[in-house]
Amino acid sequence: MSGIDKLQDRILQDAKDQAEKSIIDAKKQADDIISSAESDALKTKEAALEKAKLKSNDLKERLIAMAELESRKKKLAAKQEVIDKAFRDAMDKMLNLPVEEYKNILVDMIAASISNGDEQIILSKRDLERYGLSLADTVNLKLAEKGIKAGLTVSDQCGIFKGGFVLRRGKVELNNSFETAFKMMHSKLEEEVVKILFA
């Protein structure tokens, strides 16, 4: 299983854990947000109906349709907010894993991403301070166990991202920062996260 697959599995598992551990809080929060959106939409609809009473039937129907559309938009926005929070929470959990567990995921992801074995690894400031330049040795050993010769190095300059890594080979960079990975997986996994959160 590649590092990206593990990351996807972790996002889904975190969403499941979140749903199992705090389903009441998550549903209450989602219900509160949606209820607030519905309340706002109802007020808009009522105001539209009041205006409509003074206007023609044609205008009345248009105002009601607009109010109902606004109500749907607010509900969708509220649900999207809950979904986005689930992804943010999953990334926060990933970034705050125990040091060794996080390192193992990082090593697996790097090993799965190399193409030639002479790339340079760019880490976040936090990860560079935690693991230093020796992280490349760990990855190189892992690759050697699989019979792959590699001479990866870690850049002494850090990237501007929270976690994950960037692989550089010459002028080409492969961005595997968690921010980028989570953005890419958001649309791919959103439907499954919706099923978990709003089952």
Query: Pairing mode, if any, of strands 120-123 and 172-177?
Result: unpaired
Q: What is the pLDDT of residues 26-50, one digit of tens each?
A: 666 666 767 777 777 778 777 777 7
Sequence ranges of the domains in the chain: 3-96, 99-183
* Across 26-30, 65-69, 70-74, least confident range: 26-30
CA-based torsion, 101, 109, 196, 88: positive or negative: positive
Q: In what order do the strands lie in the sheet with 153-154?
A: 153-154, 120-123, 164-169, 172-177
133 secondary structure, DSSP code: G
Contacts of 148 (CB under 8 A, 6+ apart): 117
- What proportion of the chain, given as a percentage, has pLDDT over 90? 16
Compute the distance between CA of residue 152 and CA of residue 117 in angstroms, rounded to an integer: 6
Distances (CA, A) of 193 to 24, 83, 95, 196: 16, 7, 20, 5
Calculate helix-pair angle for 3-21, 99-113, nearest 10 degrees.
Answer: 140
The number of beta carbons lying within 10 Å of the beta carbon of residue 141 is 12
pLDDT score of 91 more than 70: yes
The number of beta carbons lying within 10 Å of the beta carbon of residue 43 is 11
Q: What is the pLDDT of residues 147-157, one digit of tens each?
A: 888 889 999 89
| Helix, coil or strand: residue 173 | strand
Among 1, 4, 2, 17, smallest CA distance to 182 is for 4
Q: What is the mean pLDDT of the chain?
A: 79
pLDDT score of 23 more than 60: no
pLDDT classification of 8: cutoffs 50, 70, 90: low
CA-based torsion, 17, 19, 20, 21: positive or negative: positive
The mean pLDDT value for 46-65 works out to 70
Contacts of 156 (CB under 8 A, 6+ apart): 128, 133
CB 41 within 8 A of CB 71: yes
Compute the distance between CA of residue 85 and CA of residue 94 in angstroms, rounded to an integer: 14
Domain 99-183 maps to which CATH number in 3.30.470.10, 3.30.2320.30, 3.30.390.50, 1.20.58.60? 3.30.2320.30
